[in-house]
Amino acid sequence: MNKTRLLSTLTLIAASLLMSGCGPKYLKTHAVVDPKNHVGTIIGAGEGKEFGLINHAKLLNNAINYPLQIAAEKTLESGMKYFSILDPVEIANDGPGGVGTAEEYVNKCATNSFVESLAYLKNPCKIAKGSLQYPAGGILRIKMYDDNDRPKNIQSYDAKLVVEYFKTNDMYQEAH
């Protein structure tokens, strides 16, 4: 077998494996909310599931940012106005790492570049799940509040402002 034919065969095999769906399995986007106590688990897979050198930071950021967007939307759909993050503990609003705006969340949790995302496979807030090279999505546990039961001693997110922030900064992802 000559080198050209061997190279062609190996290229064909590699392409077949890449296109066969043998990659990571992504989480389905959904929210599980207990209407009695307004506690929910938000799972968001994000957009851009193809891994590549150029889009890795975007893929990881989508896995990190999308659950916050879904949390805000589910809060509004539930007739509530505010929510706080219960888990992961790195950003829980009742702990020292909690933040209260979408901008603070993105600045604290997202990665800024491909190099930064691979240098440590950055996931400082522990939101992205699965392999950080191939994130399967992200998970947040939240508690929703209305005006009457919003705690004064715990930071919380204004759900409407979170959605506005993502739309204004071209980070909003359509439901999929």
How confident is residue 13, by pLDDT bands cut at 50, 70 and 90?
A: low
Q: Is 135 inside a domain boundary? A: yes
What pLDDT, on a 0 to 100 scale, did the predictor assign at position 127? 80
What pLDDT, on a 0 to 100 scale, did the predictor assign at position 126? 81
Whether the CB-CB separation of 129 and 139 falls below 8 Å is answered with: yes
pTM of the complete model beyond 0.85: no
- In the chain, how many domains are there? 1
The residue with greater pLDDT, 124 or 169, is: 169
pLDDT in tens, 119-166: 445 677 888 776 656 666 788 888 889 888 888 888 899 999 999 999
Q: Is 47 inside a domain boundary? A: yes
Does residue 16 surpass a pLDDT of 80?
no
How confident is residue 176, by pLDDT bands cut at 50, 70 and 90?
A: low
What pLDDT, on a 0 to 100 scale, did the predictor assign at position 102? 94
Averaged pLDDT for residues 111-121: 54
For 140, other C-beta atoms within 10 Å of its C-beta total 26
The residue with greater pLDDT, 23 or 77, is: 77
**46: which residues sit within 8 A by CB, 6+ positions away?**
59, 61, 62, 63, 64, 65, 66, 135, 137, 138, 173
Q: Is 8 inside a domain boundary? A: no
What pLDDT, on a 0 to 100 scale, did the predictor assign at position 35? 59
pLDDT in tens, 43-88: 665 544 444 444 556 667 777 888 899 899 989 998 999 999 988 8
Q: Is 80 inside a domain boundary? A: yes
Averaged pLDDT for residues 98-127: 74
Q: Is 148 inside a domain boundary? A: yes
Tokens of 28: 């389905």
Q: Is 6 inside a domain boundary? A: no
* Domain interval for residue 40: 21-168
Q: Is 13 inside a domain boundary? A: no
Q: Is 57 inside a domain boundary? A: yes
